[in-house]
Homo-oligomer: A and B are copies of this chain.
């Protein structure tokens, strides 16, 4: 046995070397041909690709990551998976990145900047190809980790004009304003805002609600019901009951999320409170089931799949080393006026 034989650890895998040998070129040329680098003669590219196909060659991501100092992983950090909103975003991201050879990793932050910082620390050690983050609410340490890493990053859901920050979303404030305005236009005067979780985007919707009502001289702080508890249908029902008890004069409710609003609607049904005659109800996000409620739920349709896809596209551009046409991409929103208002 030769010494070189003695230490073999070959996995039986088809390697770039095998492809190169079959195509009768050097491994570097094979590597370049397969990655689509332009500086390779068309004929050689052809030969290499044919050989790779015939051998069933699949590049080793670990070797590639080690040599290039960059993996094909793209962590997506979202607050929760229990909100269908983020699942939709995640799905769209995943579907967009996969055909380009990138893996989507899940990161769940539970709306905790400290948790996000931890996750970021560990994901950055994996040399991710790119990063998708929800919103702008993070620790200073996280911000520095990001900046220092040089990893391309796109922010989801919210917008900013801050220089060097890439983002895809819509104006939460305007959306909150728009649906409140709708209730005002319907003749409502005692419009409550009912919210849970109280994350930054929820509070932006609250801001839109306030601005709208102040413009109409209708703002009343006592009609805001803010609960830090996690959002759920059940909580929506409970909050509506609270509200009707403590503020019986209320004639409309804007729930910050559709799960709360759906719960509110079902609660009204149970209590035989007529919607929208006695009280109008509006939600936010147009989640699954909102169009099936009795009455159907007025809400704001948010472009979450489009956000997932567009942010992934923007990231793809950045990972390619190019500059996207715009830093901030506003995908808008659409009020869905239905039976509950």
Q: Which A residues are closer than 8 A to B by beta carbons?
A: 9, 11, 58-63, 65-66, 69, 71, 73, 81-82, 84, 87, 90-91, 94-95, 103-106, 108, 121-122, 125-127, 232-234, 237, 259, 262-263, 266, 269-270, 288-289, 291-294
Contact = CB atoms under 8 A, between A and B. Distances in A.
Interface centre among A9, A63, A105, A292 (most CB of B within 10 A): A292
A255 to B, nearest CB: 14
Contact of A263 (B73, B121, B232, B292): B292
- Indicate how many identical chains form the complex: 2
Interface centre among A233, A289, A293 (most CB of B within 10 A): A289
A289 B233 contact: yes
Contacts of A84: 84
Nearest to A262: B289
A62 to B, nearest CB: 4
B94 A87 contact: no
The 9 closest A-B pairs by CB, nearest first: A62-B65, A58-B125, A62-B66, A233-B292, A81-B91, A269-B294, A62-B62, A233-B289, A266-B292
A261 B10 CA distance: 55
Nearest to A101: B122
A266 B293 contact: yes
27 contacts: A11-B69, A59-B125, A61-B65, A62-B62, A62-B63, A62-B71, A62-B126, A63-B66, A65-B65, A82-B87, A82-B288, A87-B87, A94-B108, A103-B126, A104-B106, A233-B288, A233-B289, A234-B291, A234-B292, A259-B288, A259-B289, A262-B292, A263-B289, A266-B293, A269-B294, A270-B294, A289-B289
B292 A237 contact: yes
